[in-house]
Amino acid sequence: MAMPALRNSPDLAREMRAHIGRHTGKSFDWDAFPGSRGFPELARAQMRYIGAGGSPKVDDPDTLKPGDFTLSLIHQPVGKYAPCHYHEVVEHFLVLDGVLTVGWMFGGDGGADIIEAKLGPLDMVLNQSERPHGFRNDGVGPVLMSISVGSGSPKPPVYACHPKDHDPALARRFGAMPGRTIAFDPDSDDPRQQEFARYIVRHAERRPVWQSGLARLDYVGETGAPLGGYRMEMIHLPRGVAVRGYARAVEDAYFVARPRSSGSAGST
């Protein structure tokens, strides 16, 4: 779409700058989540790019205004966990570094089973809306992941098992009574396992589609996890490849995950 009135316009450059979030211009916020205050085992830090995600800090002047989704980075030190909770919208975790343990709760009222999956770099889980989930770092190094929530202004998380009103050991297991934690097994006949498997994308098990010189790997939508409000895909853009300008009727965000080696991840 030609927009001659804006070509080389200082206003356009200013507008573009106002829509760019730079990693080096931001800081991690260790006090983003009120539910974690007073619980050192829940410590994690958030860097907000678009909207506030699960944090109530919606007026952060360094954060881009959200439309239909948010985008932030989460750093979780070794041994820390986020208690089991749910949202009214979908939310995805894309692991960038470390190994993340994600638990989904099935059942409840003291009879919950928790299925736990381990995700490595470039693996993703899309947490269904209303599905209680928690995450924990059982690894030997910190976890870095990007998180998007499928609403520009999500409601506060609803806790299913928080250490403020449950045994801390139970909360660390995301609410599973002893013996009720099940390892994720995508080959199982258990319908709960099969359901969880539909929402997990393992990078090493997927093949990107090459098109016009670049590679696209679906994470949410198409061959990825079922659509829940927004699409997410990873683009591998080889050096020297360019894409002609285009316009879309929806908002697009490009989050550069690997600027030098393997490409970038974008959410729509």
Site of interaction with Fe ion (CB under 5 A): 91
> Phi then psi for 205, rounded to 5 degrees?
-95, 0
**Do the beta carbons of residue 48 and residue 60 sit within 8 Å?**
yes
Q: Which residues contact 132 (CB under 8 A, 6 or more apart)?
A: 84, 85, 86, 104, 105, 108, 112, 160, 161, 174, 175
Query: With respect to Fe ion, which residue has the nearer C-beta, 91 or 116?
Result: 91
Name which of 208 and 229 has its Cβ closer to Fe ion.
229
Choose between 63 and 148: whose C-beta lies nearer to Fe ion: 148
Neighbours of 61 (CB within 10 A): 4
Give me the half-sphere count of Cα atoms (radius 13 Å) on the Cβ side of residue 136.
20
- Tokens at 58, concatenated: 């919606």
Least Å from the CB of residue 228 to Fe ion = 13
Long-range Cβ contact pairs of 104-107 (< 8 A, separation 24 or more): 104/131, 104/132, 104/133, 104/192, 104/196, 105/131, 105/132, 105/133, 105/134, 105/160, 105/161, 105/174, 105/175, 106/192
Specify the residue, 63 or 72, whose C-beta has the smaller distance to Fe ion.
72
**Residue 103 or 121 with smaller CB distance to Fe ion:** 103
Least distance CB 155 / Fe ion (angstroms):
12
Rounded Cα distance, 215 and 196, in Å: 26
Specify the residue, 157 or 263, whose C-beta has the smaller distance to Fe ion: 157
Q: Minimum distance from CB of 267 to Fe ion (Å)?
A: 16
- Exposure b/e, 199-235, CB count within 10 A at least 16 = b: bbbebeebebeeeeebbbbbbbbeebbeebbbbbbbb
Residue nearer to Fe ion on the CB measure, 91 or 113: 91
